Amino acid sequence: SQKIEQNSEALNIQEGKTATLTCNYTNYSPAYLQWYRQDPGRGPVFLLLIRENEKEKRKERLKVTFDTTLKQSLFHITASQPADSATYLCALALKAAGNKLTFGGGTRVLVKP
Partner 1 sequence: GAGVSQTPSNKVTEKGKYVELRCDPISGHTALYWYRQSLGQGPEFLIYFQGTGAADDSGLPNDRFFAVRPEGSVSTLKIQRTERGDSAVYLCASSLGDRGHGYTFGSGTRLTVV
Give the residues lining the site for partner 1 (CB under 8 A). 4, 6, 8, 31-32, 34, 36, 41-47, 49, 51, 89, 91, 93, 97-106
Q: Which of 5, 1, 2, 20 is nearest to 72 (CA)?
A: 5
- Distance between CA atoms of 84 and 35, rounded to whole angstroms? 14
Nearer to partner 1, 90 or 111 (CB): 90
Nearer to partner 1, 42 or 113 (CB): 42
Instruction: Tell me the closest approach of the beta carbon of residue 27 to partner 1, in angstroms.
Output: 16
Instruction: Tell me the closest approach of the beta carbon of residue 69 to partner 1, in angstroms.
Output: 22
- Distance between CA atoms of 8 and 105, rounded to whole angstroms? 7
Nearer to partner 1, 52 or 67 (CB): 52
Half-sphere exposure of 102 (CA within 13 A, CB side): 21
Exposure of 66 by Cβ count < 10 A (0-12 exposed, 13-18 middle, 19+ buried)?
Answer: buried
Instruction: Tell me the closest approach of the beta carbon of residue 33 to partner 1, in angstroms.
Output: 11
